[in-house]
Chain A
Amino acid sequence: MGAVLALCVLWVSSGGGRAGAPRLAAVPSPHERPRIAAAANLNFALTAIAAQFARDRGTPVDLIFGASGTLTRQIQEGAPFELFLSADEDFPRQLTAAGLTRDAGAIYAMGRLVLFAPKGSPLTVDEGLIGLGRLLRSGGVTRFAIANPDVAPYGKAAEAVLKKRGLWDAIRPQLVLGDTISQAAQFATTGNAVGGLLAYSIVSSPEIAGRGAFALIPAGDHAPLRQRMVLLKHAGPIATQFYEYIRSRTARAVLRKYGYEVPQ
């Protein structure tokens, strides 16, 4: 049965059905827009950049957001992305080492972490996590949101910050892990957690502004979130243009607006 199904799929995929009227395989249209895989912390900034790119150049791109680790895994399994914007350097490096990228790529932004507390939360925010420590000791931390450190670099950075402040062991049972930093932000901004360590780029977006208070975590408290992008082996001309566009003055201004530090 399985083999028969596999053969059927092979037949449909290889264009066996093209001659007939119902072009099943062709139905979800094969499209020319390059697919760009991007770390979830870019959800707002890159959407704005892509919209500007479409206006300037007349060529839209498709953005697919996810955790950097998840996207890396998908690229290794053959996902048809042309450009990958990671939240760190390690994941792009793995892809380069596996020969899946055009070159080593470039750092396009440096991310920052914030401690966020939604409106009505008992958590007071400060850059040294003193308020969080106090609330934790008084048993007031029911749930605290970070991204999953295994797949999301912002989660890894959050873990480092909590460890540095000596809060990791105490807070672990209370942690809720988002698949991506966006999902962690979803937990925290909707008041389902007393707070979270989130990406500055998400918290500073108009969609989130006014949903709570936040304090910027000193960049030295965790390994720097040096965000690297790489063109993948089969990247086309539009993806290459978009790659260059992200390093343009226009795009850099957008990245700065969303709280990233942009390398010179």
Chain B
Amino acid sequence: MDWVALRVSLWLAAGTVALLVPCGVFFGRFLAFHRFRGKLLIEALLTVPLVLPPTVLGYYLLVTFGARSALGRAFETVVGHTLPFSFEGLLLASVIANIPFVVQPIQRGFEAIPADVRDAAACCGLTPWQRFLRIEAPLAWSGVATAAILAFAHTLGEFGVVLMVGGNLPGVTRTLSVAIYDRMQAFDDRSAGVMAAVLLIVSVLTLMITTALSRRVGLRRG
């Protein structure tokens, strides 16, 4: 069992959730309550990472931020290292890859709030901020929780883009899923087996929790 890899995975997942969920609440709520020209396009763009092969994301990140691109060299001058092959690079890749996993459940959560409840709250003289905190957030929280759990679990399982952009550096970009691949190549089947079991258990738990949460939403809707 590679504990360092587990730590990298957990930090990556936690960092992704911390950066993405607040943005997801903002955009998800906006999309749920507003109709505007081009909404379909925006929604499609936010969903693209769901169907995009991770290698495509990896390709663009390497081309954009690699040491051979102008932007990559500028980044290196400012920060001291390139964005690929660093934890921050992985975090950026992970945030992009998880956008649909966060925005969609949150948007559905806010959409499930009946319009008359929101109208009533507005009629009572609550400010938009009070309406958000006291009416909408308590009703949409299971969507937000689902988003956070999905992003967390999906990040733990991310493989292709991590290997491409991260490069398997122990303690920095070697996540648990990459460590499994690495151990298999070193014929260390036992370690690979233990780590695979850990990820399997986490995945099953995640799905159990998210399913339970979505049932709650369904019950309230019904």
**A65: contacting residue among B82, B96, B182, CB under 8 A:** B182
Q: At the interface, yes or no: B129 with Cβ under 8 Å from chain A?
A: no
Min distance, Cβ A184 to any Cβ of chain B, angstroms: 10
Task: Name the prevailing secondary structure of the A interface residues.
Answer: mixed
Question: Are B7 and A28 interface neighbours, CB within 8 A?
Answer: yes
Q: How far is the CA of A66 from the CA of B96 in the complex (A)?
A: 26
Secondary structure class of chain B's binding surface, majority of residues: helix
Contact residues in B for A76 (Cβ distance below 8 Å): 66-68
A sample of 19 cross-chain residue pairs with beta-carbon separation below 8 angstroms, ordered by A number, consists of: A1-B23, A5-B19, A9-B92, A10-B79, A12-B88, A13-B83, A13-B86, A27-B11, A28-B172, A43-B185, A62-B171, A65-B185, A77-B66, A77-B82, A80-B81, A182-B186, A183-B184, A185-B187, A189-B187
Q: Which of A5, A31, A183, A208 contacts B95 (CB 8 A)?
A: A5
Output the least CB separation between A245 and chain B (Å).
Answer: 20
Selected interface stretch from B32-40, B162-170, B203-211: B162-170
Interface residues of chain B, those whose CB is within 8 Å of chain A, are: 7-8, 11, 15, 18-19, 23, 62, 66-68, 72, 75-76, 78-79, 81-89, 91-92, 95-96, 167-173, 182, 184-187
Lowest 3 CB-CB distances: which A-B pairs, in order? A78-B67, A78-B82, A77-B66
Does A253 touch B at the CB level, under 8 Å? no
Query: Which single residue of chain B is at the shortest CB-CB distance from A30?
Result: B172
Decide: A64 and B170 in contact? CB cutoff 8 A. Answer: yes
New contact pairs (5) apart from A74-B85, A77-B66, CB-CB < 8 Å: A6-B92, A8-B19, A29-B171, A65-B185, A186-B184
- In the complex, the answer to whether A78 meets B185 with C-beta atoms within 8 Å is no
Range class of the A interface residue count: 35 or more
Please, how many angstroms separate the alpha-carbon atoms of A64 and B169 in the complex?
Answer: 7
Tell whether, in the assembled complex, residue A186 and residue B185 are in contact, meaning their CB atoms are under 8 Å apart: yes
- Cβ of A180 within 8 Å of any chain B Cβ, yes or no, is yes
Q: Using CB atoms and an 8 Å cutoff, list the residues of chain A in contact with chain B.
A: 1-2, 5-6, 8-10, 12-14, 24-25, 27-31, 35, 40, 43, 47, 62, 64-66, 74, 76-80, 180, 182-183, 185-186, 189, 205, 207-208
Q: A28-B172, A35-B169, A62-B170 in contact; A13/B88 too (CB < 8 A)?
A: yes
